[in-house]
Amino acid sequence: MKATRWANGPKNPLIILAVISIMCWIPNSFSREDVQSFSIENAMNTEDAKSKLEGVKFAFGTTSIGKVSQRYGEFQTNKKTNAFGKSDERACNWAFLSAMISLHDRAITEGGNAVINIRSNYKNNKTSSETTFQCGAGNVVAGVALIGVVVKID
């Protein structure tokens, strides 16, 4: 049987060094996860948000939007999106819209017409704000987690 070129290992130690370097670099290139705050107003004022969130009112933080006549419960959503090649803001706004659509659909399913006390819950770290939401943005994935109370308002 004829021995192959690699039977005794590579002849050039630079090849070994290059392979090891690449193997060490790859996991680090995908591991970024920055938790950032982004504008709720900017995300809610897109054409997609306006068209997909019709029929339900939303209140972030402690903002009041009317008298609550019935509560249906508190619900959570956790949405991720592909962030590859996108700015953090663009990816996070898309994940935010997905999370808001989930709350919108839950409100309709439960019989409500509003979601109040909406707050961020990224990695179980609850933060409440009337103006910003939290997003975990990485090189490949961005995610937004929200909690809100589905209600019927008069």
5 in a domain, yes or no? Answer: no
40 in a domain, yes or no? Answer: yes
Angle formed at CA 115 by CA 113 and CA 118, multiple of 5 degrees: 170
User: What's 60's domain CATH number?
Assistant: 3.30.110.70
Q: Which domain holds residue 50?
A: 33-153
138 in a domain, yes or no? Answer: yes
Q: What is the CA radius of gyration of the chain?
A: 23
pLDDT one-digit tens code per residue, 25-79:
555 445 688 999 999 999 999 999 999 999 999 999 999 999 999 999 999 999 9
61 in a domain, yes or no? Answer: yes
21 in a domain, yes or no? Answer: no
Q: Give the pTM.
A: 0.80
Single-letter amino acid, residue 96: F
Look at the chain and report how many structural domains it folds into: 1
122 in a domain, yes or no? Answer: yes
